[in-house]
């Protein structure tokens, strides 16, 4: 009973194992892109929770060591894979009023969280403990779309005279996005639209219109 051993002494031909399914071996850029694409596909198929280095490597038809040489772990790989597809921070149309601009911005963010990116965000949170630098990198990506769109809306509000000029750079500015994100993390997607309107009408707009406290500082 011969074990399924690969090392036959008489290997007459450069056969089987050498059959490259990819002709010339992929390297550098090409290989990296293939890996990131495989990561995205896996992510869409099985979700972040079931994502493994093993499966990504298999789908990319490469070895795990190739992944580890480029990324310290799964989390970092995923961050890169998502970054590639960012493209976001699209300009929001000017709806003519602060309230509707803000609503539009929140709905945009809500939509993004409902996709695999939201899944990833949740999955990455536990990793934040490991490495503060990593955590910061994630936060920057996460916060890309959110504050950008909101800040734009606030600036328009300032221009229209709806709110005071110091607000877009104050601690109050991010409250809407923070609450939205908090709701997503606890309740998941999709986020019901009245949650968004509640945040805007019951909290965010009143807050923006509330008088500046003595302590309130620009940031």
Partner DNA sequence: CTCTAAACGAGACGGTACGTCCAGTCTTCGG
Partner DNA sequence: CCGAAGACTGGACGTACCGTCTCGTTTAGAG
Q: What is the Cα–Cα distance from 135 to 112, expressed in whole angstroms?
A: 20
* DSSP conformation class of 172: G
Q: What is the Cα–Cα distance from 79 to 83, expressed in whole angstroms?
A: 6
Cβ atoms 94, 101 nearer than 8 A: yes
49 alpha-carbon distance from chain centroid: 15
Interacting span for a copy of itself (CB under 8 A) from 87-95, 101-109, 156-164, 172-180: 172-180
Q: Binding of DNA at residue 64 (CB under 7 A)?
A: yes
With CB under 5 to 8 Å by kind, the binding choice for 161 among a copy of itself, DNA, none is: none
Task: Tell me which residue has tokens 């070895």.
Answer: 63
**Closest to a copy of itself by CB, 21 or 27:** 27
Q: Binding of DNA at residue 74 (CB under 7 A)?
A: yes
Q: What is the Cα–Cα distance from 68 to 119, expressed in whole angstroms?
A: 23
Binding mask 99-138 for a copy of itself (x = CB under 8 A): --------------------x--xx-xxxxxx-x-xx-x-
Q: Which of residues 58-77 bind a copy of itself (CB under 8 A)?
A: 69-71, 76
| Among the listed residues 137, 172, 135, the one whose alpha carbon sits nearest the alpha carbon of residue 151 | 172
Please name the residues in contact with 107: beta carbons below 8 A apart, sequence gap of 6 or more: 193, 196
Binding mask 13-52 for DNA (x = CB under 7 A): -x--xx-x-xxxxxxx--x------------------x-x
Q: What is the Cα–Cα distance from 88 to 51, expressed in whole angstroms?
A: 24
**Residue from 40, 41, 66, 175 in contact with DNA (CB under 7 A):** 66
| Among the listed residues 154, 75, 61, the one whose alpha carbon sits nearest the alpha carbon of residue 121 | 75
Q: Binding of DNA at residue 68 (CB under 7 A)?
A: yes
Residues that bind a copy of itself (CB under 8 A): 1-10, 27-29, 32, 47-49, 69-71, 76, 79-80, 83, 119, 122-123, 125-130, 132, 134-135, 137, 139, 142, 170-172, 175, 178-179, 181-183, 185-188, 198-199, 201-203, 205-207, 209-213, 215-217
């Amino acid at each position: 009973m011969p074990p399924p051993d690969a090392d036959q002494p008489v290997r007459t031909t450069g056969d089987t194992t050498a059959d490259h399914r990819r002709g010339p071996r992929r390297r550098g850029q090409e290989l990296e892109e293939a890996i990131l694409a495989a990561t995205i596909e896996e992510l869409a198929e099985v979700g972040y929770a079931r994502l493994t280095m093993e499966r990504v490597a298999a789908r990319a038809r490469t070895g795990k060591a190739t992944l580890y040489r480029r990324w310290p772990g799964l989390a970092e790989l995923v961050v890169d894979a998502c970054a590639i597809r960012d493209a976001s921070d699209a300009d929001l149309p000017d709806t003519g009023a602060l309230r509707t601009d803000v609503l539009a911005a929140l709905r945009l963010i809500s939509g993004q969280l409902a996709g695999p990116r939201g899944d990833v965000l949740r999955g990455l949170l536990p990793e934040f403990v490991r490495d503060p630098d990593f955590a910061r990198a994630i936060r920057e990506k996460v916060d890309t779309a959110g504050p950008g769109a909101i800040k734009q809306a606030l600036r328009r509000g300032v221009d229209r005279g709806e709110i005071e000029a110091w607000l877009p750079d104050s601690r109050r500015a991010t409250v809407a996005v923070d609450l939205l994100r908090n709701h997503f993390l606890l309740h998941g997607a999709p986020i019901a639209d009245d949650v968004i309107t509640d945040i805007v009408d019951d909290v965010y707009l009143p807050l923006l219109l509330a008088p500046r406290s003595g302590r309130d500082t620009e940031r």
